[in-house]
Amino acid sequence: MSTTTTDLPDVGAPFIEGLRDGRLMLQFDRSNGRAQFYPRPQSLWSEAGTEWREASGRGVIFALTLCRVGPPHLAGAVPYPMALVQLAEGPRMLARIHARYDDLAIGQAVEVDWSHPDSRRAFPVFKPSS
């Protein structure tokens, strides 16, 4: 019997469901508590597996760029800042930043902007922390 992609569980479903509820969900290793992102079917560190937990939604800008070309659904937003966000829980996540590029800096604190409509869709949008 062959396995097709439709036979496999959607390991990212808890992440997407969390966004819809205004919660940033991450996988944590059951043996050492380390967080991982992007969602995977197994832990990066042990055979103990993972569990989903809510993350703080806070982090710092690790790297920053200004996107001048974007996918069709972001055509009206170009240019927009993108950052590699180092989450407080450890992993890094590529994300849009809801702010002017000139107002951002590497090392700056950010948090998920749940008021931004895109944060409750496929991927969170961050904003500078107040």
Report whether pLDDT(4) > 90: no
**CATH number of the domain enclosing 91:** 2.40.50
Report whether pLDDT(41) > 60: yes
Query: Which tens digit of pLDDT belongs to each residue from 86-126?
Result: 999 999 999 999 999 999 999 999 999 999 888 888 789 99
Arithmetic mean of pLDDT over the chain: 91
Q: By residue range, what is the domain housing residue 114? A: 58-128
**Same domain for 68 and 112?**
yes
pLDDT-based confidence at 1, cuts 50/70/90?
Answer: very low
**Same domain for 42 and 66?**
no
**Same domain for 74 and 113?**
yes
**Same domain for 94 and 112?**
yes
For the chain, what is the domain count? 2
Cα first-last separation, the chain: 55
Nearest Cα to Cα of residue 49 among 60, 40, 37, 62: 40
Q: Percent of the chain at pLDDT above 70?
A: 93
Q: What is the dihedral of CA 101, 104, 107, 112, to 10 degrees?
A: -90
**Same domain for 63 and 49?**
no
Average pLDDT of span 58-62: 98
Give me the residue label for tokens 């396995």: 3
Kind and range of the H or E run holding 16? helix 13-20
**Same domain for 68 and 115?**
yes
**Same domain for 79 and 123?**
yes
Average pLDDT of span 12-40: 95
**Same domain for 86 and 121?**
yes
For residue 53, is it left (φ>0), alpha (ψ between -120 and 50) or beta?
beta
Average pLDDT of span 5-24: 84
